[in-house]
Amino acid sequence: MLEKYAKINKNQRRLLKKKLPGKHTFILNPKKKIPVSKSKIGFRIPNHWCVLLSKEFGKPITTTSANIHKKPIPKAIKDINKIFEDSISLYIDEGILDGKPSKVMDITCSKPKVIRN
């Protein structure tokens, strides 16, 4: 499904197969212009039940991160609700989160660049 939306060469494919699913977000070039991005876009495939939902639905699930740059990482829905207030229509409560954000890597260049570790 990822290859439907992103340009992926053989080296990128090898890295993606090694690291996904998991706690990694990879920055790639989209196959076509996406309204929410000027150029690149991040993709994450977590080791989580929502992947099965996406497969069943046949489409990716899009979302924003609850991790705001230079702010404390929210650990529960009540913390996320303080940040986003009424702008989120649905929360799925999975209890207290481990609080560790995904590693973000830009793999659009010949040498991958870690954006967040």
Question: Residue 21's pLDDT band (boundaries 50, 70, 90)?
Answer: very high
pLDDT at 106: 97
pLDDT at 63: 77
Q: pTM of this prediction?
A: 0.80
In DSSP terms, 113 is beta-bridged to: 106
Query: The tokens of 113 are what?
Result: 């660049």
CATH code for the part of the protein at 1-65+101-117: 3.90.870.10
Mean pLDDT, residues 44-53: 88
Burial 13-32 (b: 16+ CB within 10 A, else e): eebbeeebeeebbbbbeeee
Q: Domains of the chain: which residue ranges?
A: 1-65+101-117, 66-99
